Amino acid sequence: MTVEVSKVYLLDVATGEGVEAELRDAIEQAQIDDWAKHWIPVVLAAIQDLVARQVPRADWPQSLHWNWPKKITRVQGMLAFPGFSVVAQGVTQGLAQLDLTRGCQEPGQKGKPLVYVEYLEVAPWNRSELGATPRLRGVGTVLLTAAIALSYEEGFKGRIGLHSLPQADAFYRRIGMTDLGPDPACQNLRYFEMTVEQARAFFEKEEGR
Amino acid sequence: MTAKRTMTLNLTDAEMRVLDDLSARKDITKTAVLRQALRLYQTIDARVERGEKLLFENDTTKEKAELMLL
């Protein structure tokens, strides 16, 4: 399999400078190795901190228990479940796994195919909700933009959907996605969808930056 | 963008009508319909190979029907 690599830019929060990064249209062994070697120790430290601060478990970021090797093994070689990764400064900065088998829920586009973002996670050192100042900004936006671009490439006209973890609800509203409310079929997480028009507006805004 | 190869496809009139209809209803090109069909077929086949069943449930009556794949 040939992996397509695109050049993207992230923001180094400490210096305010742009950082060159690779957007790769796959999640490979190197990403799984980075997850085990670099992400997990930071996640474990964050969990220890949450316990020490007696933060109720219900308020912990839900993605802390995500096991990427398991997620990737489950969909290995399956056309319907592509993945993306962002690599910068020699290490994986974010991962996304998508599902192309689902249909839209938003009344104006119900039943039409979309790119469903099954999992999207940025490296723990880039997440402000884990306590420290993030190192790099823009990883989640790069991955979401890749999902919308894939939707165009597949002929789905930019339509994407996802169930949001509570700490990300405001972000998805801010970028213009339609909030279809809590979904009892998915742990009551809020379901967001991007329409053809919203995708066009999203790209026009991104290009204007 | 991932490189793609081109192939010729021979379809009957009935198959072409179904393809046209799906393309219009799903608001995607005929190529996109066929690529989507391939993804779904691979996904279903992999799950059936693992010993799982393909069931449809009526949202209103909750009646279940199994789709037999031979």
Over range A147-171, report the average pLDDT.
95
Please report residues of A whose CB lies closer than 8 A to that of B26: 111-113
Residue A129 in this model has a pLDDT that exceeds 80: no
Average of pLDDT values for A1-22?
A: 94
Residues contacting residue B63 through CB under 8 Å, at least 6 positions apart? B57
Residues A153-158, mean pLDDT to the nearest whole number = 96
Q: What is the pLDDT of residues B17-57, one digit of tens each?
A: 999 999 999 999 999 999 999 999 999 999 999 999 888 88
pLDDT at A207: 76
pLDDT higher than threshold 80 for residue B59: yes
B2 touches chain A (CB under 8 A): yes
Domains and CATH numbers, chain A: 5-207 (3.40.630.30)
pLDDT at A2 over 90: no
Say if the Cβ atoms of B39 and A109 lie within 8 Å. Answer: no
The answer to whether A101 contacts B39, with C-beta atoms less than 8 Å apart, is yes
Higher pLDDT, A114 or B68: A114
Task: Please write the tens of the pLDDT for every residue from B20-29.
Answer: 999 999 999 9
What pLDDT is attached to residue A56?
A: 85
Residues 74-113 of chain A with CB under 8 A from chain B are 78-80, 100-101, 109, 111-113
Amino acid at A46: A
Mean pLDDT of chain A: 93
Identify which of A201, A145, A141 has the alpha carbon closest to the alpha carbon of residue A171.
A141
CA distance A117 to chain B (A): 16
| 8 A C-beta contact, residue A106 and residue A193 | yes
- 3-state SS assignment for residue B36: helix
Residues of B in contact with A157 (CB under 8 A): 27-28
Tell whether the model's pLDDT for residue A67 goes beyond 70: yes
Task: Give the model's pLDDT for residue B70.
Answer: 62
